[in-house]
Structure 1
Amino acid sequence: MNNLSELRIELVKGQKLAMQGSYQRRAPLKKAIPHLLVARKGLKDYVTQYPTNALAWQLLSEAEQYLLNYNEALTTLQNVLSLGDKDKKLLKRLAMLTEYGSRWQELEMTSEQLESLEIYLQEKLELYGCNHTLIYTREWLDINVLSSKKSKVVRALQNQGGFCDCEVLMNVVD
Structure 2
Amino acid sequence: MSCLLKLQNELIKGQKLAMQGSYQRRAPSKKAIPHLLVARKGLKEYVKQYPNSSLAWQLLSLAEEYLLNYNAALTALQSAVFLNEKDKKLLKRLALLTEYAGKWQELDMTPEHLRSLETYLQERLELRLCDHTLIYTKEWIDISTLHRKKSHIVKAIQNQGGFCDCEVLMNVID
Shorter-chain TM-score bucket reads: over 0.9
- Cα distance, 1:45 vs. partner? 0.8
Alignment of 1:99-118 (within 5 A): 99-118=99-118
Q: Could you tell me how far apart the structure 1 residues matched to 2:14 and 2:146 are?
A: 33
Larger mean CA deviation between 37-46 and 123-132 belongs to 123-132
Name the CA distance, whole Å, in 2 between partners of 1:147 and 1:8. Answer: 40
Corresponding residue of 1:33: 33
For residues 15-164 of structure 1, the aligned pairs below 5 Å read 15-164=15-164
Question: Per-residue CA shift, 1:19-69, capped at 9, x if unaligned?
Answer: 111223311111111111111111111111111111111111111111111
TM-score by length of 1: 0.93
Inter-partner Cα distance in structure 1 for 2:141 and 2:148: 11
Q: Distance in 2 between matches of 1:146 and 1:24?
A: 22
Which amino acid in structure 2 is aligned with residue 120 of structure 1?
A: Y
Contact kept, 8 Å, 1:162 with 1:172, in 2: the verdict is yes
Gaps (5+ residues) in structure 2? none
Offset of residue 165 of structure 1: 1.0
C-alpha distance in structure 1 between counterparts of 2:85 and 2:133, whole Å: 47
Q: Distance in 1 between matches of 2:134 and 2:152?
A: 14
SS state at 1:7 partner: helix
Runs of 4+ in 1 over 6 A off after TM superposition: none
Deviates most, 134-143 or 18-27: 18-27
1:22 and 1:146 map into 2 onto residues whose CA distance is 27
CA deviation map 1:106-142 (0-9, x unaligned): 1111111111111221222232111111111111111
Q: Give the CA deviation at 1:85.
A: 4.4
Pairwise CA distance, 1:88: 2.9
Deviates most, 88-97 or 135-144: 88-97
2:127, 2:105 → 1: CA distance?
Answer: 31
TM-superposed deviation, 1:169: 1.4
Q: Distance in 1 between matches of 2:27 and 2:97?
A: 15
Where does structure 1 lack aligned partners over 5 or more consecutive residues? Answer: none
RMSD: 1.4
Tell me the TM-score normalized by structure 2: 0.93
Aligned pair count reads: 173
Counterpart CA distance in 1 for 2:123 and 2:92 is 36
Answer whether contact 1:25 1:111 (CA < 8 A) is retained: no
Identity of aligned residues (%): 73
